[in-house]
Structure 1
Amino acid sequence: MDPAFETRDAHPGIESTVHDSMTTLPQPASPVVTAVYQFRDQTGQYKRKERGSTFSRAVTQGGTAILMDALADSDWFRPIERKGLSNLTQERDIIRSIRQQYEGNQAQPLSPLLFAGILLEGGIIGFDSNVISGGGGFRLFSIGGSGEYRRNQVTVYLRAVSTQTGEVLKTVHTTKTIISQQLQGNATRFVAPNLFLEAEAGISYNEPKTLAVTEAIDAAVRQLTIEGMRDGLFSPTDTAAARAVIERYEESKAKAGRRDYFGRLLQPDNRSGLGLEVGGGGNVLQGDVQGSSLNPSGTLALRQPLSPRWALGLTNTVGRVGATGDFGETVLASELDLTYYFAPRARFTPFLQAAGGIVTQFPEPYRLTNTASILGGGSIGAEYMINPDLGLSAAFDVRYTADDALDNEDVGSFNDSLWGGSAGITYYF
């Protein structure tokens, strides 16, 4: 049976994915006595509800308990109770009173409370809903399905304060995404003249918000520990192991600094110079002859970036243009094109391209005779940057001619056009 339809016994809580990397840091020379008075939700947001109202909060209100657990597991901190300090002092008063009552002046005093070397402050300061959302679906003959997804994110800030001077020694922050997905399918059909069948099924997945907050807090404690070692605030027993951890952390932090608000890894040096593109593809002639067929082509292009988003190019394409059994010619097309990149610093970006030029037939290319046509159109595609200097691209292309003579026939009121696709690899010098 599917586990979703079974009850389960209570079990130890699930650890976050960062927990192991937090607890396996090099050991400290001496744990730091640490106090946490309150680590609370500062967003003030309530849980979303389609209808009616609710007083449930969007994120957990147990941030203090989660942080105390992370500090205890990290081995670098020695947490002391401050959240329930009034309860603690009241219980100590009860113990002191009972000892005095039964032992009189011989009563042993209680051990003094520990005082903290540092005070941890901060909280859950951000919960952003629908950072990215989308979906898709299809339906054919009353049978179809759909899927939706939504991404939220929670942000945690943590700072260490010296109890001797009140100086803020270190501040760190972490962000964790929260994914929700839903898939569903349905079908409606007449299975008999008087019998109508309707069926549907679906499943949804929602990443637990409490675990997301736990992971963000664990990551913040780990980050605070590593930066404390780096800046000399905390002392490890194994300096060589600590140095290796710090180096890996610096690399990951440098990479994190190149991410945008949606978590995409940016490459600010993309397309730094003149690009040489080699590619190929195919086209289908929409003209006045019958029997359209797919014909191959090859492309050589130069592309000069004008800005991060715009590039000017010169493209030469050699290929076949024809229709089955009626027409076939080898042509050369030379075009100037202007390309717009939607996300120029991302590894993957869609683009739009406008192009115009001339197409001529062999064996006399570039001669403006009855075998030449002016053409123009555009492309929509995407480019994936393997590294800042090397990109792979694919596009859907449409070209219209200024006359109706590309296929040597002039029939009807519509000019000839070419529809096709292309792919290429570009090296930017």
Structure 2
Amino acid sequence: MKKILLLLYVMVSFAILTSCGAYFNQPYQQTKARIGESTSSFNSLIKEFQPKDKIIVGVYKFRDQTGQYKPAENGSTFSTAVTQGGTSILLKSLEESKWFKPIERENIANLLNERQIIRSTRQEYEGNKSKKMPPLLFAGIILEGGVISYDSNIITGGSGLRYFGVGASNQYREDRITVYLRAVSTSSGEILKNVYVSKTILSQSISANLYRFVSLRRLLEAETGVTKTEPTQLAVKSAIDKAVEQLIIEGVADGLWVPQGGKNIVDLFKKENEKEIKDAESTLLHNRKQEKRRDRFAAGGGMGVSRILGDYANSTYQFGFDFKLKYMFDDPKFSFWGTIGRFELNNKGSFHEVFLTSGLNFEYLILPKDRFSPYVYTGIGSISRKNLSQSFFKFQGGVGVEYLITNKIGIYANAEGNMLMSDDLDRQIVGEKNDVVWRFGAGVNVYF
């Protein structure tokens, strides 16, 4: 029974710790209305520097152009996948940016009708003494576009584990929306600027459960979990905010509108625009940023365990460590590195000895522009007894993974097989097979 309770505790802890924010704020009662969540995160340049004159813009419509409906597992649904209120969201983003002066155009007929009622009423009761209506503002820029794409399930996945009726699992799904926004001159009809922004929508589900007979006709069942889905409306708002931000930055860089502060401030906007373009060009789908991350040289060290497959039985894992120096070629997929180290080998009651090792390896990095990448390597080297009285030539090969904490520091883990050209490493020659040493380790690389 104690083991069951321990498993239940671990299961519940897993579900809570992996999504504690949502788990500890579960909705048990109704809540009052509140101001909508803030998604505005405009660039600091836009917040700090205002335009010389606010740009008067009109928005007739900015709507969902995908025509898609919400995906449903069973049957069909007539609810749209994307909000139909894109115009209202865009007008809010324009107001929050403080660079534009938006005017009413979506329901211009209502505005004109109301102005006509005011004129008629004044004329009827005030006659010739009635005041004239002030003129309507007219827009120098019209903003057009919309949500043009909603791609569902661009990536799905998950993981799980179940053992003797105790299990935990995690699932996720990612959707993607795409927004286009263009600025059109009302005097010439020229499209002054056209920007394109995409935003992903993440859904996650984490659960843990227990199903176990604890005694005769006594069944214990427990289940907990949490599911989180990013609201589509907030994702649309975030994408539109980014589109407005990029419209301002690119507009200043191209001289369409002028900020306060003169040429120095314009240069700052141009640098920011170049940075945004560079980031966009180097980032692939699923937010995989492609950039050169590793410098030409690296030094590292690691520790782990070694085990011999030789002529004695009952081999055990023993401690070892090594140091290495790496050289990266012009093609970041390939590198060359040398290593020296020390490790021990042991067979219970039969053999125990300390060895020194060295090697030269050729490495292939599978994802050189990602932070996390697997790699494979092969090379030649030697294993020597501690007093250097005897050395053995070897071929080695291995697989590993490396994760870059920063572009200068990476942590790695690997598994390596050392195939000797001799059967005398354990001072015993039996049969025709040569000795093999397996090494498993982890360590740190520092690039410079």
TM-score range, shorter chain: 0.7 to 0.9
Q: TM-score, normalised by structure 1?
A: 0.85
Question: Which among 212, 233, 242 is matched to residue 219 of structure 1?
Answer: 242
CA distance in 2, matches of 1:17, 1:93: 37
Corresponding residue for residue 278 of structure 1: 300
Partner of residue 300 from structure 1, selected from 306, 315, 324: 324
Within 5 Å, give how 1:37-116 maps onto structure 2: 37-103=60-126, 107-116=130-139
Query: What does 1:90-239 align with in structure 2 at a 5 Å threshold?
Result: 90-103=113-126, 107-239=130-262
Contact 1:373 1:406 in 2 (8 A): no
Q: In the aligned structure 2, how far is the partner of 1:8 from the partner of 1:126?
A: 33
Q: In structure 2, give the amino acid aligned to 1:86.
A: A
Distance apart, 1:210 and its partner CA: 0.6
What number of residue pairs does the alignment pair up?
A: 420
Counterpart amino acid of residue 322 in structure 2: G
Q: Is the 8 A contact 1:406 1:416 kept in 2?
A: no
Check the 8 A contact 2:326/2:335 in 1, yes or no.
no
Q: Is the 8 A contact 2:168 2:209 kept in 1?
A: yes
Deviates more, 1:246-255 or 1:71-80: 246-255
Task: Go from structure 1 to structure 2 and tell me whether the alpha carbon gap of 1:3 and 1:282 turns closer, same or farther (over 3 Å shift).
Answer: closer
SS in 1 for 2:136: coil
Q: Alignment RMSD, CA only? A: 3.2
Counterpart CA distance in 2 for 1:33 and 1:356 is: 71
Identity of aligned residues (%): 37
> Which structure features the higher share of helix residues?
2
Cα pair 1:26 1:241 within 8 Å, conserved: no
Alpha-carbon shift at residue 145 of structure 1 (Å): 1.2
Does structure 1 residue 409 correspond to structure 2 residue 432? no
Distance 1:333 1:306 in 2: 29
Q: Within the alignment, does 1:423 sit opposite 2:423 as a pair?
A: no
User: Could you tell me how far apart the structure 2 residues matched to 1:398 and 1:20 are?
Assistant: 48
Partner residue of 2:416?
Answer: 398
- Cα 1:307–1:235 shift into 2, 3 Å: closer
Partner Cα distance (2:68, 2:426) in 1: 65
Q: CA distance change for structure 1 residues 18 and 8 in 2, over 3 Å: closer, same or farther? A: same
Query: Amino acid of the residue matched to residue 397 of structure 2?
Result: G
How far apart are the structure 1 equivalents of 2:236 and 2:51?
A: 26
CA deviation string 1:325-368 (max 9, x = no partner):
5323333444443322222122332223344544343444775x
Distance 1:19 1:393, change over 3 A: closer
CA distance in 2, matches of 1:235, 1:247: 12
1:30 is aligned to 53
Letter of the structure 2 residue corresponding to residue 406 of structure 1: L
Q: Which residue number corresponds to residue 366 of structure 2?
A: 342
Cα deviation code 1:169-210 (max 9, x no counterpart): 222333333222211110011133012121111111111111
| Cα distance change on mapping 1:131 and 1:357 into 2, 3 Å | farther
Q: Which amino acid aligns with 2:427?
A: N
Question: How much does 1:232 deviate?
Answer: 3.1
